[in-house]
Structure 1
Amino acid sequence: MEAGIVGLPNVGKSTLFNALTLSKAAQSENYPFCTIEPNEGIVSVPDQRLDRITKYIVPQKLIPATLKLVDIAGIVKGASEGEGLGNKFLSHIREVDAILQVVRCFEDPDVTHVAGSVDPLADIDTIETELMLADLQSLENALGKAQRTARSGDKEAKLRVTVIEKCSEHLNEGKPLRLLNLNEAESAAISSFGLLTAKPILFVANVDETDLDGKNPLVDKVRQHADKVGADVACVCAKLEAEIAELDEEDREEMLTDVGLAEPALNQIARAAYHTLGLQSYFTAGEKEVRAWPVPIGATAPQAAGVIHSDFERGFIRAEVYSLADLEEHGGEKEIRQAGKLRVEGKSYVMQDGDICHFLFNV
Structure 2
Amino acid sequence: MALKVGIVGLPNVGKSTLFNAITNSKVEAANYPFATIEPNVGVVEVPDSRIDLLAEVFQSKKKIATTIEFVDIAGLIAGASKGEGLGNAFLANIRETDAICEVVRCFENKDITHVEGSVDPIRDIEIINLELMLSDEATIKKRIERILPKVRGGDKNFKAEHDVLVKLEKCLYDGNLLNTLDLSDDETKILSGFQLLTAKPFIYVCNVNDDELIEDNEYVKLVKEFAKNSNSLVVKICAKIEEDLSEASEEERNEFLSDLGAEQSGLDSLIQAAYQTLGLQTYFTAGPQEARSWQFPKGATAPQCAGIIHTDFEKGFIKADIYHISDLEEFKSEKAVKENGRMRLEGKGYIMQDGDVCFFKFNN
TM-score scaled by structure 1?
0.95
User: Does 2:13 correspond to 1:11?
Assistant: yes
Secondary structure in structure 2 of the residue aligned to 1:243: helix
C-alpha separation in 2, matches of 1:362 and 1:154: 43
In structure 2, what is the equivalent of residue 361 of structure 1? Answer: 362
Secondary structure in structure 2 of the residue aligned to 1:281: strand
Please say if residues 171 and 181 of structure 2, whose CA atoms lie closer than 8 Å, have aligned partners that are also in contact: yes
Report how far residue 250 of structure 1 moved: 4.2
Secondary structure in structure 1 of the residue aligned to 2:75: coil
In structure 2, what is the equivalent of residue 26 of structure 1? Answer: 28
C-alpha separation in 2, matches of 1:361 and 1:150: 46
Q: 1:15-94, aligned counterparts within 5 Å?
A: 15-27=17-29, 29-94=30-95
C-alpha separation in 2, matches of 1:162 and 1:263: 46
In structure 2, what is the equivalent of residue 197 of structure 1? Answer: 198
Moved more, 237-246 or 43-52: 43-52
Q: What do you get for the CA RMSD once the two structures are aligned? A: 1.6
C-alpha separation in 1, matches of 2:270 and 2:215: 14
Secondary structure in structure 2 of the residue aligned to 1:30: coil
Q: 1:125-274, aligned counterparts within 5 Å?
A: 125-274=126-275
Moved more, 296-305 or 183-192: 183-192
Please say if residues 171 and 177 of structure 2, whose CA atoms lie closer than 8 Å, have aligned partners that are also in contact: yes
Counterpart amino acid of residue 141 in structure 2: E
Identity within the alignment, %: 50
Cα distance per residue 1:286-311 (max 9 Å; x no partner): 12111110101111111111111111
C-alpha separation in 2, matches of 1:242 and 1:66: 19
In structure 2, what is the equivalent of residue 342 of structure 1? Answer: 343
C-alpha separation in 1, matches of 2:119 and 2:192: 36
Secondary structure in structure 2 of the residue aligned to 1:149: helix
Secondary structure in structure 2 of the residue aligned to 1:210: helix
In structure 2, what is the equivalent of residue 303 of structure 1? Answer: 304
Please say if residues 207 and 214 of structure 1, whose CA atoms lie closer than 8 Å, have aligned partners that are also in contact: no
Secondary structure in structure 2 of the residue aligned to 1:287: coil
C-alpha separation in 2, matches of 1:319 and 1:151: 52
Counterpart amino acid of residue 14 in structure 1: S
Counterpart amino acid of residue 72 in structure 1: I
Cα distance per residue 1:197-241 (max 9 Å; x no partner): 000011111010111125111111111112221011111100111
Please say if residues 214 and 261 of structure 2, whose CA atoms lie closer than 8 Å, have aligned partners that are also in contact: no
Q: Which runs of 5+ in 2 are unaligned?
A: none
Please say if residues 106 and 207 of structure 2, whose CA atoms lie closer than 8 Å, have aligned partners that are also in contact: yes
Q: 1:347 to 1:36 in 2, by over 3 A?
A: same
Q: 1:4 to 1:59 in 2, by over 3 A?
A: same
In structure 2, what is the equivalent of residue 329 of structure 1? Answer: 330
How many residues matched? Answer: 362
In structure 2, what is the equivalent of residue 314 of structure 1? Answer: 315
Moved more, 332-341 or 285-294: 332-341
Please say if residues 7 and 102 of structure 1, whose CA atoms lie closer than 8 Å, have aligned partners that are also in contact: yes
Counterpart amino acid of residue 10 in structure 2: L
Secondary structure in structure 1 of the residue aligned to 2:361: strand
Q: 1:129 to 1:302 in 2, by over 3 A?
A: same
Please say if residues 64 and 292 of structure 1, whose CA atoms lie closer than 8 Å, have aligned partners that are also in contact: yes
Moved more, 141-150 or 291-300: 141-150
C-alpha separation in 1, matches of 2:346 and 2:149: 48
Please say if residues 10 and 114 of structure 1, whose CA atoms lie closer than 8 Å, have aligned partners that are also in contact: yes
C-alpha separation in 1, matches of 2:80 and 2:115: 14
Moved more, 189-198 or 10-19: 189-198
Moved more, 16-25 or 206-215: 206-215
TM-score scaled by structure 2?
0.95
Report how far residue 190 of structure 1 moved: 2.7
In structure 2, what is the equivalent of residue 102 of structure 1? Answer: 103
Moved more, 214-223 or 145-154: 145-154
Please say if residues 214 and 262 of structure 2, whose CA atoms lie closer than 8 Å, have aligned partners that are also in contact: no
Secondary structure in structure 1 of the residue aligned to 2:211: coil
Secondary structure in structure 1 of the residue aligned to 2:109: coil
Counterpart amino acid of residue 99 in structure 2: A
Please say if residues 45 and 274 of structure 1, whose CA atoms lie closer than 8 Å, have aligned partners that are also in contact: no
